[in-house]
Structure 1
């Protein structure tokens, strides 16, 4: 869906058009569900938070400023905050689910050029939960969800420079953990 179409639907939904909001839901729900599901161990909880994300979005639409809006990034930000709130309530740190089916490293995103992609995927899958939450989040957004730096910055509520630096540090830490655990 084109950005102009999305903004048109957002404008209609702001005016109370439930069908327009339904189209926005249809356009974003699948990817947003995957984003939430990676962070939550329970499918029912993921579904609940997906619905809560769209409910919060619906309720916030009248106050939403359209200028410079990236609706998708705004939804992901709501979802991220809800996931964080969920974990605060249950006093435990979020863990990354098995991401094998979600993570496909392309040649452009090769973490360690001299290692075989299949071996690297397995190593990354094993060590990703060992990373700090912010490192795990940036890797998931950039390489699993395939968001641009701009979109990741909006979702994480950070500047683009901060996201690039965080990504660099996360990849560096990932390499170090892999080297510590797998290189003799």
Structure 2
């Protein structure tokens, strides 16, 4: 089934490889005591970590606190990262998810995700600038409806959809993050999309 949210094209292969190499070099420099390298790593990945925390909490202040905890945990466990097992960003996403799980267990609260309206708007930013007011209103309403549908998904389906359709991770990367077989990853994403489509249909949303 197609994604509910349109996905932008991923970074070209050579650019992605360059990023992986740069991250690996920075990690090695950090382990050698280079403070500037650590600052650069934090700078490169702050937005990614914050966005994941924000998607799962829906609270800016809490997301900032959790992001700081993530980087503290990353700093303490940096020596366990192995570039041969995957990219640094994927490893950091795993650390972030594990911390979020720990956080949920501590607070014993079921969190909801942040609005998808911004994601939809960003994906179609060039087109949206030329939309008529009535079209903009329809897009805004769709964003609210998709958000409501996402909130109704179970946590395991919700996180799979977020990692695939919002974070644009590949199946193999999501497998590393969730620590489940790739078949399970694909199944959760597919089930999540189907369930979202069913919920949206009940809300009166029809495919265009």
Q: How many residues align?
A: 176
Match of 2:73 in 1: 56
Q: Does 1:173 align with 2:195?
A: yes
Q: Does 1:153 align with 2:175?
A: yes
Structure 2 residue runs of 5 or longer lacking an equivalent are 1-17, 125-134
Q: Residues 92-143 of structure 1, C-alpha deviation per residue, up to 9 Å, x if partnerless?
A: 1111122211245969xxxxxxxx9946544322211000011111111111
Q: Does 1:162 align with 2:184?
A: yes
Q: How does 1:104-183 map to 2 (within 5 A)?
A: 118=139, 120-182=142-204
Structure 1 residue runs of 5 or longer lacking an equivalent are 108-115
Compute the TM-score of the two structures, normalised by the length of structure 2: 0.75
Bigger RCO of structures 1 and 2 (CA < 8 A, at least 6 apart): 2
SS at the partner of 2:72? helix
Q: Does structure 2 conserve the Cα–Cα contact (< 8 Å) formed by 1:100 and 1:121?
A: yes
Compute the TM-score of the two structures, normalised by the length of structure 1: 0.84
Match of 1:18 in 2: 35
Q: Note the aligned Cα RMSD (angstroms).
A: 2.4
Q: Residues 45-64 of structure 1, C-alpha deviation per residue, up to 9 Å, x if partnerless?
A: 21111111111111111233
Q: Does structure 1 conserve the Cα–Cα contact (< 8 Å) formed by 2:114 and 2:147?
A: no
